[in-house]
A and B are shown apart, each in its own frame.
Chain A
Amino acid sequence: MDYQFHWRPVIQALPDLLKASLVTLQVSLIAMALGLMIGLVLYFFRASQLRVLRGFGSTWVEIARNTPSLFQIFVFYWGLGEFGIFLSSYTAVVAALTFNCAGYMAETYRGGFNAVNPGQDKAARTLGMTRFQSMRYVVLPQVLRAIYGPMTNQFTWVILASSLGMLAGLRELSGETQYFNSRTFRTFEFFAATAVIYYLIAKMALLLMALLGRPLFKAERAKS
């Protein structure tokens, strides 16, 4: 079987693919940022004395971690229609990925908080710090260091998982690729090019996280 490679359609589509990459990046960044914040709230819910909050937090985490991401996207895109809520592809995908990231991060935070010696908070409180100040200046910075690795993985994951958004009609990188594929039938070329773009985006994300993390790890670097 001979298959003639034709890269010209890909090259012509490149500007559109790169524009779609920005959608991918944007969706992932928003979902990750919101997921980090909501995940922290969920962690506190699950650690709360109040049964309602604990139940809410645990249900969220359970569903987010134990159902397919694709299913989660479909629920936000089509499922909510049952309740008269109609989200655009973009909003539905961002919401679903946020839901997912928040669930995973809540669990990651738990590990992070467990890694901080309770003596740290005790010492801060005896200095006259409020609960919040101790959290803000003493505990959370250490939690952030503990979860930085898993958090970076989560970011990479959400970039790649955002490709599922095409199945809810989002023209992110994969959706855009599929669009061109269906018009040109250069399937291999398009998906190969897209794979390379994903790879580059993921690498850029790692670099970004490494740079952002530098101030956090000053103490580690000082050791040597």
Chain B
Amino acid sequence: MIVLENLHKSFGPLEVLKGINLTVDKGEVVSLIGASGSGKSTLLYCINALETIDGGKVTVDGVDVHAKGTDINKLRQKLGTVFQQWNSFPHLTALENVALAPRVVSKFSRKDAQEIAAKQLTHVGLGDKLNHYPSQLSGGQQQRLAIARALAMEPTYMLFDEATSALDPELVGEVLDIMRMLASEGMTMIVVTHEMSFARDVSDRVAFFKKGVLAEIGAPEDVMNNPQDPDLQRFLSTIG
């Protein structure tokens, strides 16, 4: 369970998160939507401690993420993260990309790590690309590689930050398909997205962000078909 309590975050004078409360249960898929600059990425980075926080509390399975003694590297293994930019490691093959963290973080032998990697790459449909370098893969394939790389750490949660926004339109589908597959397998996911059909079809809940505030949250049919917040109504009509 991921719990955000009265979460505050500022960059200098700019208050980006103004007291967020959100609980994500195991097995749940929560989509975060909202205008660019509203603080969605920052929220994800407060969960995996890429950012510090200025007030409130974030707990993951009862562990206070931002407390002093927390082993953040251990905690991050539970929190798979996929960014807009796939950040594949260009000097390593697909197999090595995925096997690296199991080997150096989880201390699997090289052989076991590669087995794990091959399994995850096959899972995301890259079983025939194990020895390809990222430069030989399309953007969609590299993003699936990034997903496999996160899955290889056997995370409890997956955080997606606009995972399809940097992709050519024809490559968006293959990545969304993998995300759908993960959701159907019961993965707990927090998904920042502009793909409204994905949010509608896959999420258990959709949360609308407005200038650092969680303005509206609920079941997708309520939030998306019957929005209350006027800004959300405007947002949904512009984004189609």
Contacts and interface: CB of A to CB of B under 8 A. Distances in A.
Interface stretch (A73-81, A93-101, A128-136, A179-187): A128-136
Contacts of B79: 126
Nearest to A116: B90
B91 A145 contact: yes
Contacts, number: 77
Contacts of B153: 127-128
Contacts of A122: 50, 83, 87
A133 B85 contact: no
A126 B81 contact: yes
A193 B85 CA distance: 56
Given A125-B76, A127-B101, A127-B150, A117 B87 contact: yes
Interface residues of A, number: 23
B81 A141 contact: no
A29 interface: no
Secondary structure type dominating chain A contacts: helix
B105 interface: yes
Contacts of A223: 133, 135-136
Contacts of B74: 128
Contacts of B85: 117, 119
A68 to B, nearest CB: 38
A222 B50 contact: no
A86 interface: no
B73 A129 contact: yes
Contacts of A219: 90-93, 133-135
Interface of B: 48, 50, 73-74, 76-77, 79-81, 83, 85, 87, 89-93, 100-101, 104-106, 132-136, 146, 149-150, 153
Interface of A: 117, 119-120, 122-130, 133, 137-138, 141-142, 145, 216, 218-219, 222-223
